[in-house]
Amino acid sequence: MNKKMYELGSKRSVIRDLFEYGRNLAKEVGEDKVYDFSLGNPSIPAPDCVNDGIRALIENDATVIHGYTSATGDNGVRAKISAYIKKTFGFELPSALIYMTTGAAAALSITFKALVDDDHDEFITFAPFFPEYKVFVEAGGGKLKVIKPKDENFGINVDDLSTAITPRTVGVIINSPNNPSGNVYSKEEIIALSETLEKKSKEYAHPIYLISDEPYREVVYDKIEVPYVPNYYSNTIVCYSWSKSMSLAGERIGYIAVSPKATDAGDVFFAICGAGRALGYVCASSLFQRVVANGIGQTSDIDIYKANRDKLYNNLTRLGLTCLYPKGAFYLFVKCPIESKDFCEKAKKLGILFVPSESFGVDGWVRIAYCVAPDMIDRSLPAFEKLVKECKE
């Protein structure tokens, strides 16, 4: 048996432990006194286009709808995505360079497997970062290097990137809107990143791919713009998912898009097809491919997350906690006013469950997932007040 796989499968995750702690606590003190902010599982329903779309599809075309699509995805579906990208971002993405996937995790795993050619190959990402990147890169045969943030704005640390890139660097991974910080990278940051990557690609005479992991693209507030990365950097591969935007996390539906401006775009796409095949991804769900394409552009009611964000941000800052103002995603990044471990322990005892930032590669913060029922936030506020008071004692 594979020891590394055994370790990955048997090691209990922080979030899983929190979840079980919460279940047990609920039995003791009551469900309404546990405030679980640990999971990024959308709690608001999918937009109507999802269930209406499912009903219409199974009504009209029952035989074909559950059969195989081609491995890259249904052609009509890919054409709709291509047209949407053109309309929304003004970018010409040929449908022939779109590969439908079983969610963003599959998209990332397939991309790393496609790009890694030997076990010295490296990817770079910026902390705080989604910890599964390390798992996926290593399963693909490569190594992940993590760049620490420059400051507490958690922007792209281009200075350190410049020295971190080596001849072995195959790609850089960004995630904006960001899990866990809630940050959204500005156009200026994407341009600076792009310039560094272009310079380094030239210096080492090979393309450095920019993997833009975008499951939170539409989960943004105050009409903030999320720059469309292929508009700024040629060697971009977008990994997208409808998990968050349409509350379809359990259905696993997303895509990989290779920019047509990328070096060897067609060959990279072939390697992606090969990697998808090798990893056992025959096709993305035939039904859900059609559902998301028919409803493309629609989202769950993001205003609910916005109201959650405002309530939580305003109340926690009022209590004196330092919070990063979330521009997108549904996470609030809060600085621990005392030793991180003690802060989390005190919170747990009060029924407040959140994830320590150490899991995401930075020290001394916690991630509060506010994709929860609004009334849980209301109920949690007295507990937060108590927590802050206890921290001062």
| Binders of its own copies in range 256-315 (CB under 8 A) | 264, 267-288
β strands within 114-234, DSSP E: 122-126, 143-147, 169-174, 209-213
Tell me if 306 sits within 8 A of 144, measured CB to CB. no
Window 217-246: residues binding its own copies (CB under 8 A)? none
CB of 362 to its own copies, least distance (A): 23
User: Does residue 167 touch its own copies according to CB under 8 A?
Assistant: no
Residues 50-89: x where in contact with its own copies by CB under 8 A, - otherwise, as a string: xx--xx--x---xx-xxxxx--------------------
Amino acid type, 119:
D
Task: Provide the token pair at 225.
Answer: 């713009």
Please pick, from the candidates 49, 97, 108, 146, the single residue that binds its own copies as defined by CB under 8 A. Answer: 108
Q: Which of 144, 161, 193, 248 binds its own copies (CB under 8 A)?
A: 248
Closest contact distance (angstroms) between CB of 392 and its own copies is 37
Least separation in angstroms between residue 365's CB and its own copies is 24
**Nearest distance from C-beta of residue 71 to its own copies, angstroms:** 9
Among 157, 179, 196, 247, binds its own copies (CB under 8 A): 247
Return the closest-CA partner of residue 185 out of 155, 215, 218: 155
- Rounded Cα distance between 214 and 206, Å, is 25
Pick between residue 67 and residue 90 the one whose CB is nearest to its own copies: 67
Task: Write the Ramachandran bin of 353: left for phi over 0, alpha for psi from -120 to 50, otherwise beta.
Answer: beta
x-marked contacts with its own copies along 4-43 as a string, rule CB under 8 A: xxxxxxx----------------------------x-xxx
Phi, psi angles (nearest 5°) of residue 6: -60, -45
Q: Which residue, 121 or 189, has its beta carbon nearer to its own copies?
A: 121
Q: Tell me the C-alpha distance between 184 and 186, whole Å.
A: 6
Q: Which is nearer to its own copies, 207 or 361 (CB)?
A: 207
Selected binder of its own copies within 18, 97, 114, 197 (CB under 8 A): 114
Alpha-carbon gap, residue 322 to 194, rounded angstroms: 31
Q: Give the residue, chosen from 110, 226, 304, 377, that forms a contact with its own copies under the rule CB under 8 A.
A: 110
Instruction: Out of 127, 139, 307, 383, name the contact with its own copies by CB under 8 A.
Output: 139
Q: Which tokens go with 299?
A: 């989202």
CB nearer to its own copies: give 224 or 278.
278
In whole angstroms, how large is the CA radius of gyration of the chain?
21
Type and span of the H or E element at 298: none
Distance in Å, CB of 158 to its own copies, minimum = 25
Rounded CA-CA distance 120/131 in Å is 20
Least Å distance, CB 163 to its own copies, is 25
Tokens read off for 248: 């379809």
**Of the candidates 82, 91, 98, 113, which one interacts with its own copies according to CB under 8 A?**
113
CA distance 235 to 98: 15
Q: Which is nearer to its own copies, 8 or 224 (CB)?
A: 8
The only residue of 20, 32, 92, 117 in contact with its own copies, by rule CB under 8 A? 117
User: Contact with its own copies (CB under 8 A): which of 105, 265, 293, 296?
Assistant: 105
Report how many residues bind its own copies under the rule CB under 8 A: 77
Residue 124 token pair: 């770079």
Contacts of 40 (CB under 8 A, 6+ apart): 179, 244, 249, 330, 331, 369, 371
Q: Which of residues 193-212 bind its own copies (CB under 8 A)?
A: none
> Which residue bears the tokens 């606590």?
25
Q: Which of 326, 274, 255 has its CA nearest to residue 37?
A: 326
